[in-house]
Chains A and B, each alone.
Chain A
């Protein structure tokens, strides 16, 4: 029973990781770019959610929506300011990485100056009631987080698989030249990808705020590393790999804390990553295109 309880906790944590990692995969798929500032977008999402809850007194769903819209705009601004100019001038392959790191640091310092370097309390959004499922207890917060994450993952799947722009995204991920020849404006697809990925990251930030009741300007740092790690486990650019990889990492972390030692949480997670990469270097869902099935 304890094990199942831990499993639920792990899946909950992992589902927020998955939302962040999907963003990494979408952006990597279309741009072949490691968007290191994506972890900071996640952090900004958490603060937007906090602001919405504290100052606008909105409910949790509206807070998520505020973070999604705010982060989508932030993602688009980052693309226009930090990446598009470099692409236009055929800059070095490494330039966007530096530019991405720069944006991440900027967001972090702005947040530190606004909210302080300490952890900020995120007021609880749900009554503390426990819901009994057989012998297991699930809090309403956990249910909300799981529900939101899985609905969003399903939405990502449906969007990428069946909509015109989802197909255009996959086409651009495979070959920007062929996409252009078909009349697809690849720049529009890139903007859309940033908006979509950043919205998911922002939502994940608020969910983590709900889960831990505390957020900080530095919460994006480890999330950046984990997001990239999950993308590697799942297979570069694969959104389904990101979903599965996120859940795996979340469960491993919680199990490590539960059964081994909490101070070794990240050490075990990354040892696992290294082992998985030794066994399956191409990742679980190999292939370099966004949304490979």
Chain B
């Protein structure tokens, strides 16, 4: 049994079927990438795991237990953290408060304080900005902040929804470096991306989602001609 197992998951918004019998799984300490075009259902899949999308049918099991009917905050407390697409930080709270709330479900003890210091070592750009409103940070800094905030919860599974969205290429590279460095931290990572190249490069396994359906799954999708054509502009890396 995988760490997170989703079987035949369907989600509808009104009459629109956003996900159609999607099955997906991730093991402990694995990095999995899901690529797909805009509107393919990537974000919906992430939100459905967190209990933020209207699930019509199917099962979601985390660590051997169904979480399909569990409320969002309880799912977060079980150890799944979602870094939502765009606008992730609480803009009217300071950087420090954002990080502090990342550890909301934990006791604010020596352990949590050490994680706080480590987060600042990992993201040194945040250090001089601790007392600033998160909304005043640059796009790249905001993305760093939400990843750092998610890690403050010590999640066992981290879901990253389009971490490169709207960021300059240089910043994207740094974000992905950071994600790669999470491998040492005993956490499984799901990366959902349109920007497939970097995300596929670091993944152990990948899925391709199209119109709410998983159409492809494999360990070397970067070399797959269909993926190259659809998401990588035909360029062979």
Contacts and interface: CB of A to CB of B under 8 A. Distances in A.
Nearest to A188: B73
A170 interface: yes
Contacts, number: 65
B90 A178 contact: yes
Contacts of B73: 179-180, 182-186
B92 A170 contact: yes
B153 to A, nearest CB: 7
A215 interface: no
A289 B134 CA distance: 14
Interface string B6-47: 000000000000000000000000000000000000000000
Main secondary structure of the interface of A (DSSP, over half): helix
Interface of A: 164, 167-168, 170-171, 174-175, 177-186, 287, 289, 292
Interface of B: 50, 52, 71-74, 76-77, 81-82, 84, 88, 90-93, 97, 100-102, 104-105, 108, 149, 153
Contact of A180 (B76, B102, B149): B76
22 contacts: A167-B97, A167-B101, A168-B104, A170-B90, A171-B93, A174-B92, A174-B93, A177-B52, A178-B84, A178-B90, A180-B72, A180-B73, A180-B76, A181-B52, A182-B76, A182-B101, A183-B73, A183-B77, A183-B104, A184-B73, A185-B71, A185-B73
Contacts of A177: 52, 72, 84
A167 B100 contact: yes
A171 B99 CA distance: 12
Most B C-beta atoms less than 10 A away, residue of A167, A181, A186:
A181
Contacts of B104: 164, 168, 182-184
A15 B178 CA distance: 50
Q: Find the residue from A170, A178, A292 having the highest chain B CB count within 10 A.
A: A178
Contact of B101 (A168, A185, A287, A289): A168
A182 B153 contact: yes
A177 B74 CA distance: 13
Contacts of A180: 50, 52, 71-73, 76
Residue of B52, B74, B93 with most chain A CB atoms under a 10 A cut-off:
B93
Contacts of B76: 180-183
Given A170-B90, A289-B92, A181 B82 contact: yes
A8 B43 CA distance: 57
A182 B93 contact: no
A179 B104 CA distance: 10
Contacts of A292: 92
Contacts of B90: 170-171, 174-175, 178
Given A174-B92, A178-B84, A289-B92, A184 B52 contact: no
Contact of A182 (B71, B91, B102, B108): B102
A168 B104 CA distance: 8
Contact of B92 (A168, A179, A182, A287): A287
A164 B93 contact: no
A167 B93 contact: yes
Contacts of A168: 101, 104
Contacts of B77: 183
A171 B76 CA distance: 15
Nearest to B82: A181
